[in-house]
Amino acid sequence: MAQAMTTELVTVEAYAAQRAGAHVAEVIGAIAGAARLIERKIRLAGLNDVYGAVGAVNVQGEQQQKLDVFANELLTRLLGAVPWVNAIVSEEDEGPVVFPRAEGDAKHGARFVVVFDPLDGSSNIDVNVNVGTIFSVVRLEGEDVTESVLRPGTEQVAAGYVLYGPSAVMVLAMGGEGAGAGHGVAAFTLDAEERFVLTADGVKAPEQGAYYSANEANAASWPVAYREYLESLRSGALGGMNYSARYIGSMVADFHRTLLKGGVFLYPPTEKAPRGKLRLLYEAYPMAMVMEQAGGAAIDGEMRILEVRAKGIHERTPLVIGSRREVEALQRMVLQTAGEAR
Ligand code: AHG
Ligand code: MN
Ligand code: MN
């Protein structure tokens, strides 16, 4: 007689608890809880009047979309309910939001700050194209929230993102420094019961891939090394690979494809944005940790992203992230041009 299949179902909360303990698991659980509700809101967006801007501009001078605000408030509220979270730092808020805590909370030892981009790819909301949420969990060191989040990306306790795509997927990496450290990368898919269930563990980025992803409309204002780099990819100079271009304009979606299929995603410096567009703390750091733990690499053009230090919470950085082969090739070209200029 055929045996019933007993595949054990692992939720993201259970996975996090096993690897990083109950406190971190509660933090991840709150993010997953918010992601569930954001996903539902997005799924029914056309029916719920959530398209469009709210008319306000955030600290970065960008138009806030209704979903930016919804996602931000939800994450703030759910994370604020976790006793181990002392503060959040969000793309949508000017400064950290510190939660009042009763005397004695701190005695539990685990105190975290969660840094996030509540809704990534907001320009795609109105056209029903993939968006995401990006998050980074860091330890509160002493009492200063800002100082804690300005520590290097190597010290992240956990990092990841949620991609709201044809299915919703949460990708999670848990801290650890040096080769082979950390717990690797796991992916969880939102199931019919609204649980994020483990669907891939030990995710690895290919050594090289067949896609490059950049806003090429900006190419004329990129530093010359970046232009020559894309030209070299197109000409087959990198191991004879035949590249295709893919650019969605939601970093989470472009990143997810790069992680699974390999290749490179880049947002170079431009004349308008000499330090790039993407934000170090809540876009580059978490994605760099995921990519490194999957065996890939992430640099700001010259140096490893996780070691780039920010002076402010909304600091920007150029970003080149993806398969080792592509990222290292770009780094060589940028360093060579810099060397020649000296
Ligand atoms: P956000 O919606 O959080 O402001 O982020 C948008 C980012 C990122 O998702 C994407 O990679 C990039 O902006 C696209 O920028 P361009 O439109 O300049 O290509
Ligand atoms: Mn973003
Ligand atoms: Mn955003």
Query: Any idea what the Cα angle at residue 85 is, between residues 252 and 254, rounded to 5°?
Result: 5
Q: How far, in Å, are 46, 97, 226 from residue 77 at the CA level?
A: 25, 11, 41
Count of CB atoms situated within 10 Å of the CB of 68:
25
Distance 282 CA to ligand 2 centre (A): 8
Is the per-residue pLDDT at 177 higher than 80? no
Q: Is the CB of 215 under 6 A from ligand 1?
A: yes
- Which of 151, 178, 203 terminates a domain? The answer is 203
pLDDT score, position 186: 98
Do residues 264 and 321 make contact, with C-beta atoms less than 8 angstroms apart? Answer: yes
| Arithmetic mean of pLDDT, 76-92 | 96
Do residues 130 and 164 make contact, with C-beta atoms less than 8 angstroms apart? Answer: yes
Is the per-residue pLDDT at 47 higher than 90? no
pLDDT bin (cut points 50, 70, 90) of residue 179 is: very low
Report the alpha-carbon distance of residue 203 to residue 135 in Å, rounded: 18
Q: Look at the chain and report how many structural domains it folds into.
A: 2
Task: Write the pLDDT tens digit of every residue in 215-269.
Answer: 999 999 999 999 999 999 999 999 999 999 999 999 999 999 999 999 999 999 9
pLDDT score, position 175: 83
What Rg do the C-alpha atoms of the chain give, in angstroms?
20
Single-letter code of the amino acid located at 189: T
Report the alpha-carbon distance of residue 273 to residue 119 in Å, rounded: 21
Is the per-residue pLDDT at 180 higher than 80? no
- Which of 203, 230, 265 terminates a domain? The answer is 203
Is the per-residue pLDDT at 33 higher than 90? yes
SS3 state of residue 224: helix
Using a 10 angstrom Cβ sphere, with 0-12 exposed, 13-18 middle and 19 or more buried, the burial of residue 41 is middle
Ligand 1, atom 11, lies closest to the CA of: 251
- Return the ligand 1 atom nearest residue 250 CA: 9
Q: How far, in Å, are 49, 77, 82 from residue 104 at the CA level?
A: 43, 21, 14
pLDDT bin (cut points 50, 70, 90) of residue 90 is: very high
Q: Strands 196-200 and 168-174, how do they pair?
A: unpaired
Is the per-residue pLDDT at 182 higher than 80? no
Q: Is the CB of 295 under 6 A from ligand 1?
A: no
- Return the ligand 1 atom nearest residue 120 CA: 3
Q: Which of 93, 218, 278, 317 to mutate to test the pocket of ligand 1 (most atoms within 8 A of CB)?
A: 278
pLDDT score, position 105: 58
CA 46, chain centre distance (Å): 26
| Arithmetic mean of pLDDT, 146-163 | 97
Is the per-residue pLDDT at 108 higher than 50? yes
| Arithmetic mean of pLDDT, 287-314 | 98
Q: Which of 69, 251, 279, 281 to mutate to test the pocket of ligand 1 (most atoms within 8 A of CB)?
A: 251
Q: Is the CB of 63 under 6 A from ligand 1?
A: no
Query: Same domain for 194 and 218?
Result: no
Q: What token pair was written down for 6?
A: 């007993």
- Return the ligand 1 atom nearest residue 60 CA: 4
Q: Is the CB of 323 under 6 A from ligand 1?
A: no
Q: Is the CB of 92 under 6 A from ligand 1?
A: no
pLDDT bin (cut points 50, 70, 90) of residue 3 is: low
Give the range of the structural domain holding residue 216, as residue numbers without chain letter.
211-341
Using a 10 angstrom Cβ sphere, with 0-12 exposed, 13-18 middle and 19 or more buried, the burial of residue 211 is buried
Query: Same domain for 15 and 157?
Result: yes
Q: Which of 62, 90, 267, 270 to mutate to test the pocket of ligand 1 (most atoms within 8 A of CB)?
A: 267
CATH, residue 16:
3.30.540.10
Query: Same domain for 315 and 278?
Result: yes
Ligand 1, atom 12, lies closest to the CA of: 249
CATH, residue 314:
3.40.190.80
pLDDT score, position 63: 80
Query: Same domain for 246 and 121?
Result: no
